[in-house]
């Protein structure tokens, strides 16, 4: 009887450990970095990612810039954000990226996300970048 209980405990520990080690939720999130070096310098301008992967926009300028997601209603299905959430937990579609810093978000729905960057918000027409695109596909 004692031998059976020990085997059961070992089997239970093995199952619990295996589930936690191989859990998809615990897997590290892939990060895609987008570098903004100026109004006309966004690298890459077109990005392909998978739902759930982290997208980071890095401001390499010495002044704050503004990032605007185009045609995206308040994003409910997002996580791992830095700089996108409001006090009430909603995701903003326009964010400021401080000089030398970054913002990030993980989109949880397949979609195409278009965005622009403004280097001088007081002159939005002349300081707007070309429209950049992120293609988000379902995980395989």
Q: Give the pLDDT confidence of 11-35 residue by residue, as tens digits.
A: 445 444 454 444 445 566 899 999 9
Tell me how far the alpha carbon of residue 113 is from its chain's centroid: 12
Give yes or no for residue 3 having a pLDDT over 50.
yes
Q: What order do you get walking across the sheet with 65-70 strand by strand?
A: 46-50, 132-137, 111-118, 65-70, 94-97
Each domain of the chain, given as residue ranges in start order, spans 31-137
Q: CATH fold of 31-137, please?
A: Immunoglobulin-like (2.60.40)
> Left, alpha or beta for 45 (phi > 0: left; psi -120 to 50: alpha)?
alpha
Give yes or no for residue 6 having a pLDDT over 70.
no
CA distance 38 to 57: 12
What pLDDT, in 10s, does the model give residues 42-73?
999 999 999 999 999 999 999 999 999 987 66
């Amino acid at each position: 009887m004692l031998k059976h209980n020990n085997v059961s405990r070992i089997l239970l520990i093995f199952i619990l450990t295996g589930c936690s080690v191989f859990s998809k939720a615990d897997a590290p999130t892939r990060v895609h970095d987008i570098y903004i070096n100026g109004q006309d310098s966004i690298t890459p301008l077109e990005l392909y990612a998978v739902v759930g992967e982290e997208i980071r926009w890095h401001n390499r300028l010495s002044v704050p810039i503004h990032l605007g997601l185009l045609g995206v209603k308040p994003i409910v299905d997002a996580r791992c954000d830095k700089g996108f959430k409001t006090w009430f937990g909603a995701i903003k579609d326009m964010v400021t990226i401080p000089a030398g810093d970054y913002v990030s978000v993980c989109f949880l729905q397949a979609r195409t996300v278009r965005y622009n960057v403004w280097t001088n918000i007081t002159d939005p027409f002349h300081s707007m970048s070309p429209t950049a695109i992120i293609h988000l596909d379902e995980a395989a």
